[in-house]
Amino acid sequence: MNWFKANPFLGGLALFTAVAAAAALYFASVQHAAFIEQSDAYANNVSTLNNLQSAKPFPNPENLKAARAEDKRAAEVFSRLASAVAGQTAPLDNSLTPQQFQDQLSEAAGNILAKAQAGDIALPEDFYLGFTQYKNQPPTTAAAPALGQQLASISNVVRLLLESRVTEITSITRIPLPEEAEKKEDQARTEAGKLPELLLAVFDVEFVAEQANFRQALNFIANAQPMVLVRVVSVANSNPMAPSKENPPENQDEPAVAETPGQPPPIPVLFGQENLTVKLRLASVSVSAAAPKE
């Protein structure tokens, strides 16, 4: 103690050195333990990797049999699903010729035009159900069956719109089918030995309707036979601006109601009288081949 009192600086330095040495030893021991742990883990992983790389797996007959049975069950389930979908789609007539398709198209367009005129529903000029390119020129032989199937779905959708009393059908735009391509590899719908494939033929329909008629049309299309899928619905109101609270617009469609003395004026109808411009992206569904029999 006398030495520490006589040499406080050296005593403090010695004490600091002892504490630092103890801390360094503790840190070194902890890091060494962590290093040993990580080294063991690395060695185990390397050993496992080497065993996997050098292993020669041998198929277990029971597992192989179970895997094949599972594949067969999956194929049966998918085939039943394809058969169920095929029962709700337009029939695919592989014997349909290009000239027969043109005859069907001309008849369908004429029927739609007559119904629209009878119902006072506006159609675009030169309306041909989205198949204008085939009005004067027949499709290829390979494309005719698929086009005939899509024609049945599109003409049915248009018929439902007419029955819903829409105000106007603005346009119908088809996305070309793979069968309409000129490449030979695109003309074949199926290959031998393949499971049935569900195919979607996408087309866009734009129309104008009152709100109640739009709701009815959408319900009809959602439950249509042949089945179509509603992919996108876009609705624009003819009057996107909110009515003024200070000067509400008078309802021109309703008959004028005389004000009764001493009674407040009748409340004008602000909503429900607008027309809607609707754009639908639809897809008709087909099956590339008949489901195999069990």
What pLDDT band is residue 48 in, cutting at 50, 70 and 90?
Answer: confident
| pLDDT for residue 169 is more than 80 | yes
**What amino acid is encoded at 138 in this protein?**
P
User: Which tops the pLDDT comparison, 67 or 103?
Assistant: 103
- DSSP letter for each residue of the chain: -HHHHH-HHHHHHHHHHHHHHHHHHHHHHHHHHHHHHHHHHHHHHHHHHHHHHH------HHHHHHHHHHHHHHHHHHHHHHHHHHTTS----TT--HHHHHHHHHHHHHHHHHHHHHTT-B--TT--TT-GGGSSS---TTTHHHHHHHHHHHHHHHHHHHHTT-SEEEEEEEPPPGGGSSSGGGT----TTPPP-EEEEEEEEEEEEEHHHHHHHHHHHHT-SS-EEEEEEEEEES--SPPPSSSPPP-TTSPP-PPPTTSPPPPPP-SS--EEEEEEEEEEEEESSPPPP-
Domain locations in the chain as residue ranges: 2-52, 82-239+271-287
Q: Please give the mean pLDDT across all residues of the chain.
A: 81
Averaged pLDDT, 252-259? 50
Bridge partners (DSSP) of residue 283 are: 202, 229
> Per-residue pLDDT tens for 61-74?
887 888 888 888 88
Q: Which string of b and e fits 119-151 if b means at least 16 CB within 10 Å?
A: eebebeeebbbbbeebeeebbeebbbbbbbbbb
* Pairwise pLDDT comparison (249 vs 177), residue with the higher score: 177
CATH superfamily placement of domain 82-239+271-287:
Ribosomal protein S6/Translation elongation factor EF1B (3.30.70.60)
Which residues share a beta bridge with 169? 207
Q: pLDDT confidence of 43, banded at 50, 70, 90?
A: confident
